[in-house]
């Protein structure tokens, strides 16, 4: 006689996982424009018989929460994945929204981060529904917005009162590892203010871009060291973007004049002995020091960055779930059952643990969680996913959900 596990896994087909992933690629969903993909997922889960709701994170920006209710108070699990995808780079050589299969690779916009994981978690949940296995505890499918803005969607979900006993987030770090500990992420903006004047009289003006160069050169003086031996590369301070021009709209049509407003967006990866307020204090102290050194130096510091930059208003605190936590061990056993392979690494896995993700907010809300999701091959990894890992992830998530929620 087939087991309950066999019954559920029989409904996870490679064709279903791949078709879902291709559909998701075809729907552009850059940050703050996730509505179309949310509508697709809402309709999909509704047709499959889930209890489904929209959550409006901001006007016109919904995320989707699906639920398979348990019958008698068993433990609950959230499968959490974000719908927003990274911006498209100039190196694409074909339409990034047209999926391509090349051997074991599926290419397409957003498939790396993290539409492959979303396809896997949707396939897992749908398989459980189609199997007609009655769960004891709730299975929650959370397809959220704004993870790339610090986790705005998951914060909204938690603030709405949704809680589960455990959570799994299939971010693209490989199905050979389980990650339980990550750094914190802090994003801020610094603007320098100059005095614009025609280049023929440049000695009478103050160039905001030149002032910004002083800021960039001074950033290594920030003292954000951590005493955590798990993260020897901290802090990581990245000047991610820069724009300068004339006026606060960065008018670029006046190259004959000095710029009077320049802004950089900074990403800081930090350890658990720091807090956002302490990091702000370090930046402001450095900028004040530059102001004392140069009487023309004027600045503005914004944490979080202003909304027009679409960076988001949420910090991601460090995550540290115990490697022997129940959910971690369930995922480990499910992976080994599905693949016949042992998990290679569990806990801190560098460089991936230098990344921020929604486990930061889930753990802070008291939900034990871990990262386990499909990845691509090393070359051009951000443009594709390994199809075999996506299939492994879908089956591992289905089995984990069955074991957590009880059949």
- Domain extent, residue 216, equals 184-309
- H helices of 83-199, in order, are 116-131, 152-159
For residues 330 and 387, the answer to whether their CB atoms sit within 8 Å is: no
CATH of the domain at 390: 3.40.630.10
Note whether 46 and 99 are same-domain residues: yes
Instruction: Return the pLDDT at 265.
Output: 97
Note whether 134 and 164 are same-domain residues: yes
**What total of structural domains would you count in the chain?**
2
pTM above the 0.85 mark? Answer: yes
Note whether 18 and 60 are same-domain residues: yes
Q: Which residues contact 45 (CB under 8 A, 6 or more apart)?
A: 52, 64, 66, 122, 125, 126, 141
For residues 31 and 37, the answer to whether their CB atoms sit within 8 Å is: no
For residues 65 and 167, the answer to whether their CB atoms sit within 8 Å is: no
Note whether 169 and 26 are same-domain residues: yes
Note whether 38 and 162 are same-domain residues: yes
Residue 314 lies in a domain: no
The rounded average pLDDT for each run of 10 residues, N- to C-terminus, in the chain (407 residues) is 89 97 97 96 98 95 97 93 91 93 97 97 98 96 95 96 98 98 96 95 94 97 92 94 94 89 97 93 98 96 93 88 98 98 97 96 97 96 97 98 91
Last residue in a domain, options 309, 332, 351: 309
Note whether 244 and 111 are same-domain residues: no
Note whether 135 and 26 are same-domain residues: yes
Got the DSSP string for 22-90? HHHHTS--BTT--HHHHHHHHHHHHHHT-EEEEEEEETTEEEEEEEE--SS----EEEEEE--BPPPPT
d(CA 128, CA 130): 6
Residue 270 lies in a domain: yes
Last residue in a domain, options 309, 330, 365: 309
Note whether 124 and 248 are same-domain residues: no
Note whether 284 and 297 are same-domain residues: yes
């Amino acid at each position: 006689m087939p087991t309950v596990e066999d019954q559920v896994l029989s409904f996870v087909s490679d064709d279903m996982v791949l078709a879902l992933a291709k559909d998701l690629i075809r729907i552009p969903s850059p940050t703050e424009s996730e509505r179309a993909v949310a509508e697709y997922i809402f309709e999909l889960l509704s047709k499959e018989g889930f209890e489904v709701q929209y959550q409006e994170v901001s006007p016109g920006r919904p995320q989707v929460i699906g639920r398979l209710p348990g019958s008698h108070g068993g433990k609950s699990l959230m499968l959490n994945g974000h719908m927003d995808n990274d911006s498209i780079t100039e190196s694409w050589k074909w339409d990034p929204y047209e999926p391509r299969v090349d051997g074991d690779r599926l290419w397409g916009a957003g498939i790396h981060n993290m539409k492959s994981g979303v396809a896997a978690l949707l396939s897992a949940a749908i398989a459980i529904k189609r199997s007609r296995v009655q769960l004891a505890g709730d299975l929650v499918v959370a397809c959220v917005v704004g993870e790339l803005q610090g986790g705005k969607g998951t914060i909204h979900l938690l603030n709405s009162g949704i809680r589960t006993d455990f959570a799994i987030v299939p971010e693209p770090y490989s199905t050979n590892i389980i990650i339980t500990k990550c750094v914190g992420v802090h994003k801020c903006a610094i603007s320098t203010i100059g005095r614009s004047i025609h280049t023929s009289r440049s000695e009478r003006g103050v160039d905001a871009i030149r002032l910004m160069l002083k800021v960039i050169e001074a950033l290594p003086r920030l003292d954000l060291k951590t005493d955590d031996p798990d993260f020897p590369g901290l802090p990581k301070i990245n000047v991610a973007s820069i724009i300068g021009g004339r006026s606060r709209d960065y008018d670029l049509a006046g190259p004959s004049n000095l710029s009077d407003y320049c802004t950089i967006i900074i990403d800081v990866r930090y350890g658990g002995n720091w807090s956002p307020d302490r990091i702000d204090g370090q930046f402001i102290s450095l900028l004040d020091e530059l102001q004392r050194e140069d009487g023309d130096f004027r600045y503005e510091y914004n944490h979080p960055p202003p909304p027009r930059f679409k960076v988001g208003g949420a910090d991601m605190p460090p995550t540290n779930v115990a490697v022997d936590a129940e959910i971690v061990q369930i995922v480990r056993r499910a992976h080994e059952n599905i693949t016949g392979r042992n998990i290679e690494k569990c806990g801190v896995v560098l460089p991936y643990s230098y990344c921020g993700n929604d486990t930061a907010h889930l753990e802070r809300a008291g939900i034990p969680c871990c990262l386990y999701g499909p990845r691509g091959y090393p070359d051009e990894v951000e443009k594709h996913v390994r199809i075999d890992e996506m299939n492994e992830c879908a089956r591992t998530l289905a089995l984990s959900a069955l074991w957590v929620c009880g059949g």
